[in-house]
Amino acid sequence: MASLSLKGIEKIYANGFHAVKDFNLEIADKEFIIFVGPSGCGKSTTLRMIAGLEDISGGTLEIDGKKMNDVEPKDRDIAMVFQNYALYPHMTVYDNMAFGLKLRKMPKDEIDKKVHNAAKILDLEHLLDRKPAALSGGQRQRVAMGRAIVRNPKVFLMDEPLSNLDAKLRVQMRIEISKLHNDLGATMIYVTHDQTEAMTLGTRIVVMKDGVVQQVDTPQNLYNAPCNLFVAGFIGSPQMNFMDAAVKVENGKATLTVGDHILNVTADKSKALIDGGYDGKTVILGIRPEDVHDAADFQGADKESVIEATIKVYELLGAEVYLYYDFGGAQMTARVNPRTQLRTGDKAVFALDMDKIHLFDKETELTICN
Amino acid sequence: MGCTNMQPTFTIINDFQGIKGHGEIMATRSAELEHALKTLKQLTGISLDVAVDAPEEEEKALAQVRRLCSAYRDKYNHGRFLQDLLVKELPLPTILEEARRLRLSVEEPRVLFLVESKHALQESAVEILKLLFPTQASKALIPVNETRVGVAYALTNTKRPPAQGASNAGCPDGNVLKNPDTEREIRQTAHTIIDTLNTEALISVRLAYSNVFLTLTELHSVYEETSLALHIGRLFYPEQSLFFAGRLGVGRLIHGLPPSACEKYLEEIWGGKVPVAMDEEIMATVNTFLQNNLNIAETARQLHMHRNTLIYRINQVQKQTGLDLRNFEDAMQFKIATMILNRMNNRDPREQ
């Protein structure tokens, strides 16, 4: 398998459209890297540059230390699985998997060995004689994976491979891809716009927006310590609550005013606000829905962090309840225990876990403190 | 020459001696001859047994069987006829006669997918297309030149258009793509072609697809329209790989402008100093600025540049053109001007 190095990668199209800007990333051997971001953020373009399907306008791409900028896709030792895969309808599973190797004029016995190996990994051995029409959606997807596996590539590139599957199958295939990564010990780069897919699959995630890398980190770190407002809002579902908060420093201690509520902040966050010169300025306060507790759930809360609000919507998801309410001019969500007695229209008391709040600069949108 | 015939009865006109009649067939024939006979059977449905007892006779028999295959292929060559139909305007009676002879359905809703690669399309790419459309391959696949191949895909399983169905491909009244199911299916098929060629043949392609057309006689005009879609796509939307000939937006409008009008417009914007091409850095900056709805802070942040640098660049454009990009109307004029400049720089030699 292989390591990849992307140094200052740029993609500028002939019409001046700057799709990828100064992309820098080192991918270690056997890593499972996810490119995630909204539509049009440049994640697929970056993947296609790695594949050789798009020319690289600037920067250097190396695979295993070898510069690949001008190497033909077929000579990069990669395999791809894209969203709109198609199996050849008149061919058996075996022939579908073998076809790419036949095109490369590989000897028959070698093809046979590779197909059977891949089929074993993917649990497709008993289906090798079937035609695609006789397969379920998940089995077809596995055949598509099999076509990539038989190539025995250095790097697997996947562009939203699960997007055309229904929700249930997507979850199942997610687990299978994760298992596949462990079994193959392969370097994989996976593009998705779905943050849940990103969080569950990747060893590291690259969050992109408008062609620019926002943050590269482990799923846990992205969730707990986003580097800016965009990452904070993009990662996590339901998304982080945001509200404007005015900073006031008195006696060496900072407080945040949201609407008519004054919130005390912890000592480290207070220091970050004072050191950053935010006294008298407005910042953005972010708090994840699970860090907003209904009072019964959070007995020990600082009374300064307790707020009152009217529940606008009650949403039971089985294992948890989402409560929607307005606070400080923003719509907020609380993720609470399903045993809560609160219902739509009720006056509720919520405690904000001030230890878990995130503060962002309103102008630059960069994180002040997590 | 003597040959034993199976069904149907068939006699080869022989021009050489030595092939024995039935009962004297050589026990073994070369693999080449076997293959040629098998091919003949596949092409014509006719089974032949050829009896030879000397290598030179076999060679002659092989040549004759091959000539037969080639003559049959030539006579029933869908590809050649469709290729002619695609690139030339053939007279209606010729089209109808040829279609009848080749057993091609004239009245059938179809869509044309035109695939283009930057480099010569390898055999493998054509092979993949054949496999994607196995039931239609012989009648649908139309090699155009070494970088282009067309697929005249029959929508046999899709809903027919309303009875009024106009026969003109570009006519909105007869546009089957009004049916969202059909549109989705066609677009999905187009994506599948691109993704499969990307992943299996490892080649980068662009694809344009046409409106649904109802008779084969329209194939030439549909091809022209789809080619135009590829051209406009390459010119104005190089970041995309899929184009629908029925939705080319402002690109079609600008492409359709007479060169003299384009020249006048460019002179209005740049005076006498129309640039050969825009500075790449300036264009990248301006494009990001336009993408961000003329928002200076957001553009500066995305480009990792100080807002004063951005303002300086915007002022540079204003100095050259008199257009203040912070103003929507000026920004729109500039965008159109750059598209026109692009169109003029890539215009058809016949226009010059």
ipTM for the whole complex: 0.87
Q: Do both B135 and B112 map to the same domain?
A: yes
Number of domains within chain B? 3
Q: Is B199 in the A-facing interface, judged by CB distances under 8 Å?
A: yes
Decide if B172 is inside a domain. no
Q: Do both B129 and B212 map to the same domain?
A: yes
- The residue among B327 and B162 whose pLDDT is bigger is B327
Q: Do both B65 and B116 map to the same domain?
A: no
Q: Give the pair of three-digit tokens for residue B269.
A: 């914007």
- Chain A / chain B CB contacts < 8 angstroms: 100
pLDDT band at B8 (very low <50, low <70, confident <90, very high): very low
Decide if B295 is inside a domain. yes
Q: Do both B282 and B238 map to the same domain?
A: no
**Domain end (from B194, B216, B248):** B248
- The residue among A354 and B3 whose pLDDT is bigger is A354
What would the mean pLDDT of B343-349 be, rounded to a whole number?
76
Residue-level pLDDT at A148 = 94
- Rounded Cα–Cα distance for residues B303 and B291 (Å): 12
Q: Do both B264 and B131 map to the same domain?
A: no
What would the mean pLDDT of B251-267 be, rounded to a whole number?
91
Q: Give the pair of three-digit tokens for residue B182.
A: 């059909």
Q: Do both B95 and B220 map to the same domain?
A: yes
Residue-level pLDDT at B1 = 39
Residue-level pLDDT at A296 = 65
Query: Whole domain around residue B20: which residue ranges?
Result: 9-76
Say yes or no for a CB contact (<8 Å) between B239 and A79: no
The shortest CB-CB distance from A89 to any of B134, B288, B301 is to B134
Tens of pLDDT, residue by residue over A154-166, are 999 999 999 888 8
Nearest Cα to Cα of residue B244 among B305, B347, B175, B198: B175
pLDDT band at A16 (very low <50, low <70, confident <90, very high): confident
What would the mean pLDDT of B148-165 be, rounded to a whole number?
64
Residue-level pLDDT at A58 = 96
Residue-level pLDDT at B29 = 66
Residue A297 has pLDDT above 70, yes or no: no
Q: Is B240 in the A-facing interface, judged by CB distances under 8 Å?
A: no
Say yes or no for a CB contact (<8 Å) between B302 and A21: yes
- Residues from chain A that touch B237, judged by Cβ atoms under 8 A, are 15
- Rounded Cα–Cα distance for residues B304 and B310 (Å): 10
Instruction: Assign 3-class secondary structure to B89-101.
Output: CCCHHHHHHHHHH
pLDDT band at B198 (very low <50, low <70, confident <90, very high): very high
- The residue among B321 and B281 whose pLDDT is bigger is B321
The strand pair at A4-12 and A58-63 is best described as antiparallel
What would the mean pLDDT of B61-72 be, rounded to a whole number?
85
Q: Do both B46 and B116 map to the same domain?
A: no
DSSP line for B45-88 = S--EEE--SSHHHHHHHHHHHHHHHHHHHHHT-HHHHHHHHHHS
Residue-level pLDDT at B51 = 78
pLDDT band at A299 (very low <50, low <70, confident <90, very high): low
Q: Do both B22 and B132 map to the same domain?
A: no
What would the mean pLDDT of A319-347 be, rounded to a whole number?
92
**Shortest Cα distance from B9 to chain A (angstroms)?**
33
Q: Do both B40 and B114 map to the same domain?
A: no
- The residue among B11 and B350 whose pLDDT is bigger is B350
Residue B23 has pLDDT above 50, yes or no: no
Q: Do both B329 and B217 map to the same domain?
A: no
Q: Do both B117 and B196 map to the same domain?
A: yes
Average pLDDT across chain B, whole number? 80
CATH no. for residue B200?
Answer: 3.30.70.270
- Residues from chain B that touch A100, judged by Cβ atoms under 8 A, are 200
- The residue among A83 and A115 whose pLDDT is bigger is A115
Residue-level pLDDT at A153 = 94
Q: Give the pair of three-digit tokens for residue A218.
A: 């482990």
Helix axes B328-345 and B307-321, enclosed angle (nearest 10):
70
Residue-level pLDDT at B279 = 74
pLDDT band at B73 (very low <50, low <70, confident <90, very high): confident
* Percent share of chain B, pLDDT over 90: 33
What would the mean pLDDT of B121-137 be, rounded to a whole number?
87
Lowest average pLDDT, out of B224-228, B249-253, B345-349, goes to B345-349
pLDDT band at B349 (very low <50, low <70, confident <90, very high): low
Q: Is A172 in the B-facing interface, judged by CB distances under 8 Å?
A: no
Average pLDDT across chain A, whole number? 92
Decide if B138 is inside a domain. yes
- Rounded Cα–Cα distance for residues A122 and A142 (Å): 6
| Residue of chain A minimizing CA distance to B283 | A16
Residue-level pLDDT at B101 = 85
CATH no. for residue B266?
Answer: 1.10.10.2840
